[in-house]
Chains A and B, each alone.
Chain A
């Protein structure tokens, strides 16, 4: 069930990202929905799920971009693994720890991604800090809202069922 959910989350994030990204040209400050999905999967399934989802999502994202295939994959694999491992060791269910996790994971992702491109001499990123900061906040906001929605769904369904029974 968790694997199916993870698959659906990644596929949905990729579909929305590729369909809607073209409507927003604001540098690197765009919310990375795929990264949000990877972090979400890692927090709910652990390091293996996070790592595998990060690899798959990152490679597809790389292939759909014009960059080197593998750099985004590696960055998301690392993030998925680290977030999953931390999520297993600590309780990351409250809003604040999750916010910190999303912000930190986005920063790590950007550091690996930009660092590899710069280290390999493939690209120059002129002062990307502001953009990364905005992206981190955007990702955290979207991530927290997504978590709240996903976690409230079973309760809502249960309440509706209960209400239906009472009416009968």
Chain B
């Protein structure tokens, strides 16, 4: 009977639902302090569903592969892949360190290197919406993950944590329209801001027109946004146009293939205070959790 009553009052129900949505939207747009409870609770609960679905899919896939493949070789391969991933991160860091030491050799003696602690995590889901570029990972506050921590992969920068819950976190990818990162061109040290466009590429804004920049240059994080550690690869410049004041249309192809992300690393160490002339950003990664493959 109750269902029949609702059907007879479709118009009222529709108005009530629309009003509810408007109130919900207004509450979020007016106050931007912290994360809305509804969003966190819904994300937290659905992250568990994603974890289970991903687990089931992973188990089925693993079982299927194990049936055909030699188990010992697979295990060895997985270990080697993990070691390779860690080494890739090391290589990236060493490359940044070498580049820094070339230009800031005099200053190297004045400071100590800091260690970057990493937490390995598996990707358990993606944004359910085509307009946003986010992923869900299986590590949360219980593993030391906090909001605004950088997320990287062996290939380069992935994004940042925007909502950690107890056992999972939502990560905004660098290609999301709302994402941005302070960056510099590795060869000429020209600084700018890399912003996501919601597509497969990102762009670089505020790049001075006088800077020596060309297509093919590698773009890395500058570290001044206090989110992404310095020296991590963002991507390579595909095309650009020199403007009067600054470059325009600087298109960067990200180093990370966002379509095949399975495991990532969360940087749990906050970047060092930005002291002019003292930061080389030469950091050595230290993986805390090794259960991601």
- Which residue in chain B gives the minimum CB-CB distance to A135? B130
Interface: A74 (CB within 8 A): yes
- A interface vs B, CB < 8 Å? 14-15, 17-32, 34, 46-48, 51-52, 55, 59-74, 77-78, 81, 113, 116, 120, 122-124, 135
CA distance A27 to B129 in the complex (A): 11
Binding stretch for chain A, among B18-26, B86-94, B267-275, B283-291: B18-26
Tell me whether B17 and A77 are in contact (CB under 8 A).
yes
Q: Which residues of B contact A46 (CB under 8 A)?
A: 7
A74-B130 in contact given A28-B198, A59-B42 (Cβ < 8 Å): no
Cβ of A123: which chain B residues have Cβ within 8 Å of it?
177-178
Partner of A65, one of B25, B134, B200: B134
Residue numbers in A under 8 Å from B38 (CB-CB): 63, 69
Of B47-55, B71-79, B103-111, the one with at least 4 CB within 8 A of chain A: B47-55
6 sampled A-B residue pairs with Cβ under 8 A: A24-B259, A25-B175, A64-B134, A66-B162, A69-B28, A69-B38
Once the chains bind, are B36 and A69 in contact (CB under 8 Å)? yes
Besides A19-B126, A66-B170, A81-B14, 9 other CB < 8 A contacts?
Answer: A19-B125, A22-B125, A22-B258, A51-B13, A65-B128, A66-B127, A67-B132, A72-B129, A73-B24
> Which 5 A-B pairs rank lowest in CB-CB distance, beginning with the nearest?
A22-B126, A63-B42, A70-B24, A65-B132, A74-B21
Do A18 and B176 touch (CB < 8 A)?
no
Pair B162/A64 contact, Cβ less than 8 Å: no
Cross-chain contact B29 with A48 (CB below 8 angstroms) = no
Q: Are B198 and A51 in contact (CB under 8 A)?
A: no
Q: Cβ of B162: which chain A residues have Cβ within 8 Å of it? A: 66
Minimum CB distance partner of A33 in chain B:
B128
- Out of A47, A52, A55, A120, which one reaches B29, CB within 8 Å? A120
Question: CB-CB < 8 A to B60: which residues of A?
Answer: none
Contact A18 B175, CB 8 Å, known A69-B38, A71-B25 = no
Cα A52 to Cα B18 with chains together (Å): 11
When C-beta atoms are compared, the residue in chain B nearest to A49 turns out to be B7
Contact count band on B: 35 or more
Given A17-B128, A18-B125: A60 touches B46 (CB 8 Å cut-off): yes
Query: A122 CA to B28 CA in the complex, in Å?
Result: 11
Min Cβ gap A38→B in Å is: 12
B 36-65 binary contact with A (CB < 8 Å = 1; else 0) = 101100110010011001100100000000
- Bound complex: CA A106 to CA B49 (Å): 27
Q: Is the CB of A77 within 8 A of B18?
A: yes
Asked if B136 CB lies within 8 Å of chain A CBs, one says yes
The answer on a CB contact under 8 Å between B128 and A28 is no
State the Cβ distance, A101 to closest chain B Cβ, in Å.
19
Among residues of A, the one whose C-beta sits closest to the C-beta of B57 is A19
Q: Are B131 and A18 in contact, CB atoms less than 8 angstroms apart?
A: no
Complex: A135 Cα to B134 Cα, angstroms: 19
Least CB separation from B130: chain A residue:
A30
Docked complex Cα distance between A62 and B200 (Å)? 22
Give the docked Cα–Cα distance between A68 and B42 (Å): 13
**A25 to B199, Cβ gap below 8 A?**
yes
Residues of B within 8 Å of A64, CB to CB, are 42-43, 46, 125, 127-129, 134, 136, 170
Q: How far is the CA of A30 from the CA of B14 in the complex (A)?
A: 28
CB distance from A41 to the nearest CB of B (A): 15
Q: Which of A18, A22, A62 contacts B261 (CB 8 A)?
A: A22
Q: A155–B162 Cα gap in the complex (Å)?
A: 48
Chain A residues with CB under 8 Å of B176's CB are 66
Min CB distance, A74 to chain B, in Å?
Answer: 4
Partner of B128, one of A48, A60, A71, A78: A60
A67 to B176 Cα, complex, angstroms: 11
The complex places the Cα of A61 from the Cα of B127 at a distance, in Å, of: 8
Residue of B nearest to A27 (CB): B199
Q: Which residues of A contact B125 (CB under 8 A)?
A: 18-19, 22, 64
